[in-house]
Structure 1
Amino acid sequence: MKTKTCSSQAALTYGSQPALRDRLVLEAARLDAPDVVLAVTRRGKRTVVTGGRGPEPATPREALRYELGSLTKTYTVLLLATLAAEGVLTQDDRLAAHLPPTLRLPHRASHSITLRHLATHTAGLPRLPYALVPGALLRPYRSGYARYDTERLLNAFAATRPLHPAGRRWAYSNFGAALLGPALARAAAVAYPALLGTRVLRPLGLTGTTLGPGPEGADAVGYRADGRTPVPATDMGAFCAAGAVRATPHDMLSYLEALLNPAGSSLSGPLKEVQVPQLHRGGRRGETHTLTWFQHPAPGGPLLFHAGATFGQQAFCGYHPASGTGLAAVATARGRRCPLVPVAYELLYQLAEEGH
């Protein structure tokens, strides 16, 4: 596998951390994908390494925008916390209060679901609307989300009987996270893409982060598990709040740096709010969850992280506040041959252990 520092300029900029750069080169070599980027921030100093067994793209790999999949949820929940801080809504508002009044909800349990329940995956909703499941199983590389508009999403919610009362147990749900999109948009009277842009992306200076495809050559191309068959860009339809964000690795680092140093941001309160633990599941060795991040114990303090995947790409973001360390990783393939998430998690844990 061919690896390199992200550019000659970047090599000069990050030359103060050659040992870390060399380590990232070795870690990148463990990942079998056409394009790989590993990017670390440690107390404000960045080290970025790119590699991949595919041909070098016309746009440098570190400048491409990658599909973040479920990492999008962390941006959406930060938007929720921001709107709550502004007084537009509260996290414990009932979802039904921010949906069209003409939408009938025949199931009593649906009326108890709050925005916090959606953010923390405790709303009792299935992972996907039932109508999407057969297509997801039969056509694993084709996005069924593209045909799902907001009206269909809301009608699916109305027709779905929650699996259990809201707040009783944790069950990961793209369905629930997607519903935050129209709910936040209705509360603020602004479409979700524009709302995320003005309330989150712009204040954080994330100019390389979008919700849709950019001009030709701006976005990374995903591939099937074989690393050879390209996959069309993912259209998330009404599920944009659950999985539509695209970002450059440098913007991902900027996002992590804001979370590591909330005091330096205009979104200080919301950035702190999304890191507060909300629930623990699975006994002593189970999972702790903040409003949007998975949280694990680590030397010196907790490690927070989230991963995401689309039909041909995968991404990871994690950070360790005690050591001031954050790691962003992306790859343009999925499957056993490209274990991006465990490699990135293991690397972040080791860096946290060494740096606390």
Structure 2
Amino acid sequence: MLTEAARTIDAPDLVIALSHRGHRTFQLGADVPLGKAPLHGPGDGLRYELGSASKPFTGLLLAALVADGRVRYEDSAAGLLAPGHPVHPAVRAITLRHLITHTSGLPALPADFYPQALPRWSTAPYSRYPADRVVRAFLRARPRHHPGTRWHYSNFAVSVLGHTLAAATGTPWEVLLQQEVLGPLGLEGTRLGPGDPAGDAVGHRRDGRPLPALDTGGFTAAGAVRATPPDLLTFLEAHLPASAAAVDAAVSAAVALAVDATATSAAAAPTRPPAAAFADVRRPLLRRGLRHAHTHTLTWFRHPSPRGPVCFHAGATLGQQMFLGFRPDTGTALAAMCARRVHRTDPFIATVHELLTEKL
């Protein structure tokens, strides 16, 4: 099935990574160099741009901080980000939960984003919109709808969430994500920006021309994560209730090795995000879509299937595509990625979604 899916997609640097009850299988596209084949550890394989599939990482970070009592879902984002700053009442009413569930009433991107982005739309649209500008745009925003009343997908909102969590904890978002999610899960092949060019997948336009690495500007929490296929399976496996014990054992073993090698105190070693955080991000919260047939969790799209619910999130950058999904009832996780620009008739998302929902 994986081989047939790879033939259907036929894209550069294609990898389909499957985990079923702890057993992993990797299907590579015909053009993936053998030296980059993700067959061993988390550092193997190319790192791919996740784009919007970065949002589940931010959602898990939020859930972990809530489980630790450091923030609350119902905290006012403006109150944490800029205490005492005068804002519109609707902005004051936006909570952390509204931001991550796309119910804040904010648009997909700030209104003033497009004029400066258009000249660089096909190469670096986010690069000249830094973090402080994202924050200012939020504080002067006028939400289209009262928070909590409508679902509208928003990169702007999730980016604001990242800056809010940083302000609330006094820790930069990149450091916070490393401390609370990436480090504890042992995601050694995951980065929050371009790294060694030899280790990063290169995106391509539809005509095959290469594209520069994505610069997310101030929108890091909405799309800056880059990861290898094994790391993505580890991240997804941690969401599977049946895999929790195995993940804990693997993390404990990795921590033991690190402590042994560096002679540091085991008390300083990172711990896995709390079980309550994973339960929160799996739990359905709201209904959406045609006739409200689909639900949405804190951070995942959730569709029904003959063998139980499927949680997933897709992402696309200027020249790469990503799909992350898992089935809690069957202990199955799937990560698929390629280095080709998305287009209207592209079979990538439809193929891998059908693979996870109807075949596996």
| TM-score category (smaller protein) | 0.7 to 0.9
Given that 1:223 and 1:231 are in contact with CA atoms closer than 8 Å, whether structure 2 keeps it comes out as yes
Q: Could you say which residue in structure 2 is the equivalent of 1:351?
A: 359
Separation in 1, partners of 2:114, 2:135: 17
Separation in 2, partners of 1:203, 1:241: 18
Separation in 1, partners of 2:35, 2:209: 19
Q: Which amino acid aligns with 1:288?
A: T
Counterparts of 1:233-244 in structure 2, within 5 Å, are 233-244=213-224
Q: Could you say which residue in structure 1 is the equivalent of 2:300?
A: 293
SS at structure 2 position matched to 1:250: helix
SS at structure 1 position matched to 2:282: coil
> Are 1:217 and 2:178 matched, yes or no?
no
Match of 1:258 among 220, 238, 254: 238
Given that 2:316 and 2:342 are in contact with CA atoms closer than 8 Å, whether structure 1 keeps it comes out as no
Q: Could you say which residue in structure 1 is the equivalent of 2:287?
A: 280
- Distance 1:304-1:126 versus aligned 2 partners, 3 A rule: same
Separation in 2, partners of 1:299, 1:282: 19
Q: Which amino acid aligns with 2:24?
A: R
Separation in 1, partners of 2:16, 2:301: 20
Q: Normalised by the size of structure 1, how large is the TM-score?
A: 0.87
Given that 1:33 and 1:338 are in contact with CA atoms closer than 8 Å, whether structure 2 keeps it comes out as no
- Distance 1:328-1:160 versus aligned 2 partners, 3 A rule: same
Q: Which amino acid aligns with 2:27?
A: V
Match of 1:189 among 166, 170, 189: 170
Post-superposition Cα deviations, 1:220-267, rounded to whole Å, max 9, x if no partner, equal 0001112x2111100111100000000001111111111113643432
How far residue 135 of structure 1 moved from its aligned partner, in angstroms, is 5.3
Q: Which amino acid aligns with 1:242?
A: A
Separation in 2, partners of 1:283, 1:147: 36
Separation in 2, partners of 1:191, 1:346: 38
Q: Could you say which residue in structure 2 is the equivalent of 1:92?
A: 74
Counterparts of 1:71-82 in structure 2, within 5 Å, are 71-82=53-64
SS at structure 2 position matched to 1:280: strand
How far residue 164 of structure 1 moved from its aligned partner, in angstroms, is 0.7
How far residue 282 of structure 1 moved from its aligned partner, in angstroms, is 4.2
Separation in 1, partners of 2:233, 2:4: 20
> Are 1:308 and 2:315 matched, yes or no?
yes
Q: Which amino acid aligns with 1:211?
A: L
Counterparts of 1:99-110 in structure 2, within 5 Å, are 99-101=81-83, 103-105=85-87, 107-110=88-91
- Distance 1:216-1:57 versus aligned 2 partners, 3 A rule: farther
Given that 1:38 and 1:50 are in contact with CA atoms closer than 8 Å, whether structure 2 keeps it comes out as yes
Report sequence identity in percent: 48
Q: Which structure carries more strand by proportion?
A: 1
Q: Normalised by the size of structure 2, how large is the TM-score?
A: 0.86
Separation in 2, partners of 1:334, 1:343: 16
Q: Which runs of 5+ in 1 are unaligned?
A: 1-22
Separation in 1, partners of 2:183, 2:33: 30
Separation in 1, partners of 2:347, 2:85: 42
Q: Could you say which residue in structure 1 is the equivalent of 2:347?
A: 339
Post-superposition Cα deviations, 1:129-186, rounded to whole Å, max 9, x if no partner, equal 1122345566442222111112111111123210010000000000000001111011
Match of 2:29 among 51, 54, 60: 51
Separation in 2, partners of 1:103, 1:236: 26
SS at structure 1 position matched to 2:174: helix
Separation in 2, partners of 1:312, 1:231: 6
